[in-house]
Amino acid sequence: MTSTEIAVHAELLDCLQANLAVLADRHHGPGTHLALGAPLRFRPTAGPDGLPTVEPSLADRLTDAERFLGLQVTAQWQQVTPSRLADLSYYQHGELYVMADAYDLPWTPYRGQQHMEHSFLVSSGPAGAVITDAYRNQTPWGNAVPGRWELDWADLPTADDVVVLTPTATVPAAAPVVDVADPAPYLDAYARHADRLTALRRLTLETWLLTRSRKLHAGFLARSGAPVTGEAERHLRAWDLLAEQTYLAMRRAERGRREPTGLLDRLGQALTADREVFGGTSPGQVRDTVAGVVAAVLGTNTERVLAEPELTLLPGFDSMRLVEVVARLEQRLDVEFDPDDLLPENLHHLDSLCRLAAGSAGATGGTT
């Protein structure tokens, strides 16, 4: 096997994002992958061992790939053998996005050490399978480093998921969104969990994911022309230190030592600070975003919408276009409007539509 470097910001990405990033940059240009950082989220869901988790599913990441990277799922299979994988790549679809157990992947340090879902790209080469894997991380068994490797198809395990991702003509415009829920229930679940080692092992992954996603958001903002402030740099450093402290606490617990106090308090403070550091927005930004969406749906320009805020007077505005405006705003702001607020009097004028958008974003911590 041989390894070569891959030019994406791998240190900001989780193991599902890393190889979506490679495809995004290949099809739409260097740096496209940073749009994955547009949303800064904290929306825990039910996880293993009775603990909430921020770990995204494959479906979540594929939705993000279409929404932010211009990559659309056009085919997908489960439980694909290596020989079938070779056929799909060689005869039909070219390079494939694959999910499999890292325990069985020979180029990763997790081989024979830890079971976890891991992504990679595979295509057919003269000698067999050509693997691309942009994941970067330090592990107890060595470093995972981005690279490309050539293997025999038989060296690959059965894939849990195989996905064909096709580039769209353009990349959807992404706006920064901060969606941070109340952390109290999440923190309480970890504080009360009876198995402290299990809780700390899970929390180590959680803080790792949260830290990378905050850095990715900062990377997106910088690429969008908003340089990272000193306050944001200090905040990101605090996340780094929190992730490191959580890892040390886990290793101490593995040796039968007491965990440190104040760890969850520190996590709560970091989550609260997310909105303070990244969550600012202005009414003008909301208005420009809403007007831009309306203009795109009606096939006009933003200045025309701003000049005529009574939307019913704009050419082409009707109930069908209104449905599309609402759908696009929900996607652009990464929110879901309260159905009870979707009244004609809230949707026919730019000002009232802006109030609806700002209120929904504020309810989830979102910004434009």
Q: What is the mean pLDDT of residues 196-213?
A: 97
Do 69 and 148 lie in a common domain?
Answer: yes
Do 316 and 253 lie in a common domain?
Answer: no
Q: Which of 167, 200, 232 is the last residue of a domain?
A: 167
Do 266 and 287 lie in a common domain?
Answer: no
> What is the pLDDT, as a whole number, of residue 366?
44
Prediction pTM value? 0.78
The string of pLDDT tens digits covering residues 40-49 is: 999 999 999 9
Q: Is 121 inside any structural domain? A: yes
Contact partners, residue 356, CB within 8 Å, separation at least 6: 337, 341, 346, 347
> Does residue 164 contact residue 73 with C-beta atoms inside 8 Å?
yes
Q: How many whole angstroms from its chain centre is CA 282?
A: 24
> What is the pLDDT, as a whole number, of residue 65?
95
Q: Is 2 inside any structural domain? A: no
Q: Is 130 inside any structural domain? A: yes
Q: Is 1 inside any structural domain? A: no
Torsion sign (Cα): 227, 229, 234, 236:
negative
Q: Which of 278, 302, 332 is the last residue of a domain?
A: 278
Do 49 and 75 lie in a common domain?
Answer: yes
Kindly report the average pLDDT of the chain as a whole number. 90
Q: Which of 167, 192, 218 is the last residue of a domain?
A: 167
pLDDT range class, residue 344, cuts 50, 70, 90: confident
Do 62 and 25 lie in a common domain?
Answer: yes
Do 267 and 317 lie in a common domain?
Answer: no
Q: Is 88 inside any structural domain? A: yes
Give the domain range for residue 55: 10-167
The string of pLDDT tens digits covering residues 303-328 is: 888 888 889 999 999 989 999 999 99
The CATH number for 317's domain is: 1.10.1200.10
> Does residue 10 contact residue 144 with C-beta atoms inside 8 Å?
no
Q: Is 259 inside any structural domain? A: yes
